[in-house]
A and B are shown apart, each in its own frame.
Chain A
Amino acid sequence: GENVEQHPSTLSVQEGDSAVIKCTYSDSASNYFPWYKQELGKGPQLIIDIRSNVGEKKDQRIAVTLNKTAKHFSLHITETQPEDSAVYFCAARGSNTGNQFYFGTGTSLTVIP
């Protein structure tokens, strides 16, 4: 099956700086890559996603890039704010695995005011 690795596991940035979280996947058939934000006591919330036929997608301060050849994708958060502090998960869904999603181990982001 698919294997998703996520780095770093923890990340601290000053408010206003950028944060980058990286994930790699193993199954070249994976074709959909969502990112989730999980705040304390809540379920993961879908914040942005990208399909395998797209190299980059942006939504306000959040962007995701995908390199299919290298099998890695990244989440970029610019102008970070304290409310961005949360755990972020990447995931991959492959066409060979039915509709099952495989998740990274999470990155705990702390934005220091």
Chain B
Amino acid sequence: KAGVTQTPRYLIKTRGQQVTLSCSPISGHRSVSWYQQTPGQGLQFLFEYFSETQRNKGNFPGRFSGRQFSNSRSEMNVSTLELGDSALYLCASSFWAGVTYEQYFGPGTRLTVT
């Protein structure tokens, strides 16, 4: 089975611009979560989507949004970029493996805001 894929892998944007990141989960996984990873804050949960519905949301401003399509692929959007948005954005797909809910990460998209 192919793993979680994320595109693009690297991105450079300017303050004030917006950006859209894409994630394709493992085949058969219906849940997709997004995380922001920075050296100072570690892994911070952004939101989770299941069957095209946002199920959980972390403590991020409204500039961060996402959506999920009927094929479980997900996108996240960041509007009005700030320098502090520079980070590695990780997507994870999850599924119930019997009694455990397992989560697998993609390689991430490295976003640099200048």
Contacts and interface: CB of A to CB of B under 8 A. Distances in A.
A98 B56 contact: yes
B103 A46 contact: yes
A103 B56 CA distance: 16
Interface residues on B, range: 20 to 34
B45 A44 contact: no
B105 A43 contact: yes
A34 B103 contact: yes
A99 B90 contact: no
Given A43-B90, A43-B107, A99 B102 contact: no
- Counting chain B CB atoms within 10 Å of each CB, the highest count among A93, A97, A99 belongs to A99
A102 B58 CA distance: 11
A94 to B, nearest CB: 11
Contacts of B101: 32, 93, 99
A105 B33 CA distance: 18
A14 interface: no
B74 to A, nearest CB: 15
B57 to A, nearest CB: 9
Contact of B48 (A89, A98, A105): A98
B55 interface: yes
A99 B56 CA distance: 8
Interface residues of A, number: 23
B6 to A, nearest CB: 8
Contact of B55 (A34, A42, A99, A106): A99
Contacts of A42: 107-108
Given A98-B56, A103-B43, A43 B106 contact: yes
Contact of B42 (A32, A45, A49, A103): A103
23 contacts: A34-B102, A42-B108, A43-B4, A43-B105, A43-B107, A44-B90, A46-B105, A49-B100, A89-B42, A93-B101, A98-B55, A98-B56, A99-B55, A100-B45, A100-B48, A100-B58, A101-B33, A101-B45, A102-B45, A103-B42, A103-B43, A105-B42, A106-B43
